[in-house]
Amino acid sequence: MVVCTGAYQAFLIHLRAHMWCQTSLESRCLGATVIPLIVSSDKTQLTLFGGKMAYPVYMTIGNIPKDICRKPSQHTQILIAYIPTDKLEFIDIKAARRHAVANLFHSCLQHVLGLIALYGETGIAMVSGDGVWRCCHPIFACFVGDYPKQALVTCTYQGHCPKCLVPPDQLGEPGSFPPWDYDKAIEMYSLAGGNVHPFHAACHKAGLKPVFHPFWETFPLADIFLSITPDILHQLLQGVMKHLISWLTSPLAFGPAKINARCRSIPPNHHIRLFSKGITTLSCVSGKEHKSICHILIGLVTDLPLPHGQLSIRVLRSVRALLDFLFLAQF
């Protein structure tokens, strides 16, 4: 639901937001250095027996080069907290239970990330990798998570886009929609400390959850709706690409036998993964395996005949367009 709004447009919005943030800090404090904080979380099972689960919260910064940040051996992702996943089943009313679960999540994150609001505004002296002391301003920049976590963090309802005001029945259709107004959301959540009924009425009118002071409310130079990133794994690899692969291997297209035969005929190569048994026999395909399939997918279907003597040029154009979208969207 995030990718459908335009990956390139989202990239430009992030770029303009980062440039505005740097310029705004430079006008207040000469020589300020922005440290974009990237926070990620996903529900994880902690024990094999008993089903104990929690939300591990990881953090990294955007100043680390990509060739270092993407290597797990460099330990650039740091575990900073575990957030409970209690269902609060002792609360009988379902609506109150859902509100309590959301409030618990935001309260825990506010406790963990609360110092960002202070040092993001005033700055803190830190030494960089080249040994130079700089006045660093840690700014909450991105939250990485799947769609349920995006809805939980942005206080939007399930089925709605966490970035723009597109109606739920128009998701995926062409056209652009205005983004969520962050200033109005902050003004609305400032009513949480007063009377409950006006606050709930304002949240209902705005289409946001009545969360008691979200964790991002006090962050300077931040916009939670711009901070949501596309979910590459679930939306692209296990979403668009999974449907593309199932379409190409269906009997209406090339069929599994032809695709698997092409996989077995690929010569050994150090830069690609070989699927000696084909790709249709795989079960529970991971994101890494989907990436490996995408590397060879255009070569698997080139010059393959379609049923009933149809030309495959339109199929090749569609595959190439979707693969181009996959790689461009990840920028």
For 101-119, how does the pLDDT look when each residue is reduced to its tens digit (9 = 90+)? 899 999 999 999 988 888 8
- Tell me which DSSP letter residue 241 carries: I
Our CA angle for 107, 109, 110, nearest 5°, is 65
> Residue 224's pLDDT is what?
92
> Residue 13's pLDDT is what?
52
Q: Is 225 exposed, middle or buried (0-12, 13-18, 19+ CB in 10 A)?
A: buried
- Among 23-32, 65-74, 318-327, where is mean pLDDT lowest? 23-32
Spatial contact of 5 and 164, defined as CB atoms under 8 Å apart: yes
Residue 39, beta-bridge partner list:
59, 143
Q: Which helix (H) or strand (E) holds 15?
A: helix 7-28
Spatial contact of 136 and 146, defined as CB atoms under 8 Å apart: no
204-222: per-residue pLDDT in tens? Answer: 999 999 999 999 998 888 8
d(CA 66, CA 149) in angstroms, rounded, equals 24
Task: Examine the pLDDT at 242 and tell me if it is beyond 80.
Answer: yes
**Nearby residues of 321 by Cβ (< 8 Å), 6 or more positions away:** none
> Residue 1's pLDDT is what?
39
The percentage of residues in the chain with a pLDDT greater than 90, rounded to a whole number, is 26
d(CA 226, CA 185) in angstroms, rounded, equals 13
User: Is the dihedral angle over the CA atoms 208, 146, 115, 105 positive or is it negative?
Assistant: positive
> Residue 28's pLDDT is what?
64
> Residue 122's pLDDT is what?
84
Task: Examine the pLDDT at 138 and tell me if it is beyond 60.
Answer: yes
Average pLDDT value over all residues in the chain: 84
Q: Scanning the structure block, which residue is given the tokens 């700014």?
A: 139
Our CA angle for 43, 46, 50, nearest 5°, is 110
Mean pLDDT, range 29-45, rounded to an integer: 83
Task: Examine the pLDDT at 2 and tell me if it is beyond 60.
Answer: no
Residue 179, beta-bridge partner list:
164
> Residue 16's pLDDT is what?
54
d(CA 239, CA 254) in angstroms, rounded, equals 20
Residue 166 neighbours by CB distance under 10 Å: 20
Q: Scanning the structure block, which residue is given the tokens 């709605």?
A: 160
For the whole model, what pTM was predicted? Answer: 0.78
Task: Examine the pLDDT at 5 and tell me if it is beyond 60.
Answer: no
Q: Which two tokens stand for residue 286?
A: 């991971």
> Residue 70's pLDDT is what?
80
> Residue 6's pLDDT is what?
47
d(CA 202, CA 189) in angstroms, rounded, equals 9
d(CA 165, CA 182) in angstroms, rounded, equals 12
Q: Which residue has the higher pLDDT, 21 or 327?
A: 327
Task: Examine the pLDDT at 51 and tell me if it is beyond 90.
Answer: no
pLDDT band at 30 (very low <50, low <70, confident <90, very high): low
Q: Which two tokens stand for residue 228?
A: 């949501």
User: Is the dihedral angle over the CA atoms 179, 183, 186, 188 positive or is it negative?
Assistant: negative
Cα of 172 vs its chain's centroid, Å:
17
- Collapsed DSSP state (helix, strand, coil) of residue 242: helix
In 62-160, DSSP assigns E strands to 78-84, 124-127, 133-144
φ and ψ at residue 269, rounded to 5 degrees: -150, 140
Q: Which residue has the higher pLDDT, 31 or 219?
A: 219
The percentage of residues in the chain with a pLDDT greater than 70, rounded to a whole number, is 89
pLDDT band at 272 (very low <50, low <70, confident <90, very high): confident
Q: Which two tokens stand for residue 90?
A: 């002792």
pLDDT band at 155 (very low <50, low <70, confident <90, very high): very high
